[in-house]
Amino acid sequence: MKVKIDPSRCVGCGLCAETLPQLFFMGPFHAKVRRRTLTSQEELLVAQIAEDCPSGALLFEEDEVPSLTRGPASDGYDESDHDEKKGEIH
């Protein structure tokens, strides 16, 4: 999971930066994110901070899920490997 801060909502209270300085710091007007990708332990802490954030400026994004889409289904059988060449005279 990833976290970001909506600068248009952040009121600069400093709560997130004081609580998790390894992830957040204060810029001149609002908090900024040092590292967006969270460990599973940090997810719980940041979820709590997001609840306590007075302006709802902490937002979460799911990590990109790798696409499971691939070419046509294959059971390992390739018909071209098994073409019978009967009757061919070279």
13 to 72, contacts with ligand SF4 by CB under 6 A?
13-16, 30-31, 53-55, 57-58
Nearest in space to 54 (alpha carbons), one of 21, 10, 24:
10
Q: Does 10 bind ligand SF4 (CB under 6 A)?
A: yes
Amino acid at 84: E
Q: Which stretch binds ligand SF4 (CB under 6 A): 10-18, 34-42, 62-70, 78-86?
A: 10-18
CA 35/CA 15 separation, integer angstroms = 17
To ligand SF4, the closest distance from the beta carbon of 53 in angstroms equals 3
